Amino acid sequence: MKKLIGPFTQIIPLAGLPLKGTLKDELLHTIINGGVLVEDGLILAVGGFEELRRANPQVQIEEIEGNHVLLPGFIDCHTHICFAGNRAKGYALRISGKTYLEIAKAGGGIWDTVTQTRAADEATLSQLVVQRANRHLAEGVTTIEVKSGYGLSLDEELKQLRAIKAASTQTKAHLVSTCLAAHMVPKDFKGSQQEYLDHIVNELLPVIKKENLTNRIDIFIEESAFSADNAMVYINKAKLMGFDITVHADQFTPAGSVVAVVSGAVSADHLEASGEAEIRLLANSNTVAVTLPGASLGLGMSYAPARKLLNIGACLAIASDWNPGSAPMGDLLMQAAVMSAAEKLSAAEVFAGLTYRAATALKINNRGILAQGMLADMQAYPCIDYREILYYQGKMKPSRVWAGGID
């Protein structure tokens, strides 16, 4: 049955905007006193509320009272929300002066979470994913990428990916899974980096394909994880098997973004250490540059060069990196708002990075804007002007969120 939702004081559809480069707020099309016509989870029309009501006299009305600004649902294209336990002890060490790499070398970091996640059963992990996804959904995030990577063995990685798949049936948020078995070489694996990566290719990826657990793989290229050379070999083998590629790139040292671009990865994520050469390389490619301000806040380090990336013509997305170590907060809007003040991003650039540009980082083309034929994933903020949303730096949360037209 058709449903007309509105009226909204403003609707910001984000339709018709460029995929790459800078965006001025003047480019934003604003519909005043607008409405959205929805049927079977899809948008039929976006326009003036009264005009849509007159054109559809028998339509069901879902009335919105008071002043509200409507945006597309946010898309968080990089999270690690399938985990058990926490790393509060490691965080205390970091704020006392220890570095991320120092903690990792001492047995903390990722391996700490691997130990806690391995101790949890699949059902428990699935419920933890649902809880975190539902919190994200309440804050306007309607599509959430979720990585494995805290199992680091055949059985444990499959447990994580199966838990994510099960969780996707228990939340209204849309979940997109990614295999990050190449997060680090597990301490209990007796072999080299390349031998571990070959183990993933030969033993894990065929099972993932058979069970249809994901079509995406990720790899962490860094001193504490995998070298660029080994990563390239692994990526090429995964591509031959039909997997899409994303890369943890340039978090502490610049190397991963080159691998991402040369290999044709969908996205390169982190980029805090990217220099001028890496920025130019990304801008001249089809690889989406994904910034993770939550990790910068959690580690007390500089943001990725978002302003430079946009100025030179990159496609820039913004994601939370929600994880138990470097980015435990998981508040996507707050992180994006704070980074926008530091990097001088326009509201249009922030909202694009949280919606249709983030969708591109997941190779999804049916959400991220409010237009005919798109999923009715939407969020309404209790304000008069869209500029108030970032002004409150994440403290203003949506009062209504629709996933597939249902709130």
Report whether pLDDT(384) > 80. yes
Residue-wise pLDDT for 144-176, tens only, equals 999 999 999 999 999 999 999 999 999 999 999
Query: Do 219 and 102 belong to one domain?
Result: yes
Residue 160 is assigned to a structural domain of this protein? yes
Domain assignment present for residue 317? The answer is yes
The answer for residues whose C-beta is within 8 angstroms of residue 76's C-beta and 6 or more apart is 136, 141, 143, 144, 145, 319, 320, 322, 332, 358
Q: Are residues 85 and 63 in the same domain?
A: no
In the numeric block, which tokens belong to residue 289? 């540059």
Domain CATH number, residue 388 = 2.30.40.10
**Structural domain of residue 124, as residue ranges?**
75-361
Whether 250 is in a domain gets the answer yes
* 124 and 272 housed in the same domain: yes
- Mark 40-65 as b/e (b = at least 16 C-beta within 10 Å): eeebbbbbbbeebbeebeebeebebe
**In which band, very low, low, confident or very high, does the pLDDT at 100 lie, cut at 50, 70 and 90?**
confident
Q: Is residue 279's pLDDT more than 80?
A: yes
User: With bands split at pLDDT 50, 70 and 90, how would you rate the model's confidence at 278?
Assistant: very high
pLDDT by residue (tens digit) across 313-369? Answer: 999 999 999 999 999 999 999 999 999 999 999 999 999 999 999 999 999 999 999
- Pair (392, 312) in one structural domain: no
If asked whether residues 144 and 280 sit together in one domain, one would say yes
Q: How many domains does the chain have?
A: 2
In this structure, the answer to whether residues 265 and 396 fall within a common structural domain is: no
- Residue holding tokens 């007390």? 300
Q: Quick one: 64 and 157 in the same domain? A: no
Q: Do 153 and 33 reside in the same domain of the chain? A: no
pLDDT of residue 337: 98
- Residues 310 and 393 placed together within one structural domain of the fold: no
pTM given for the model:
0.97
* Pairing verdict, β 74-76 and 42-48: unpaired
CATH number for the domain that contains residue 297: 3.20.20.140
Q: Alpha-carbon distance 244 to 253, whole Å?
A: 24
- Please indicate, yes or no, whether residues 332 and 238 belong to a single structural domain of this protein: yes
In a domain, 407, yes or no: no
375 and 332 in a common domain: no
Same-domain pairing of 237 and 346: yes
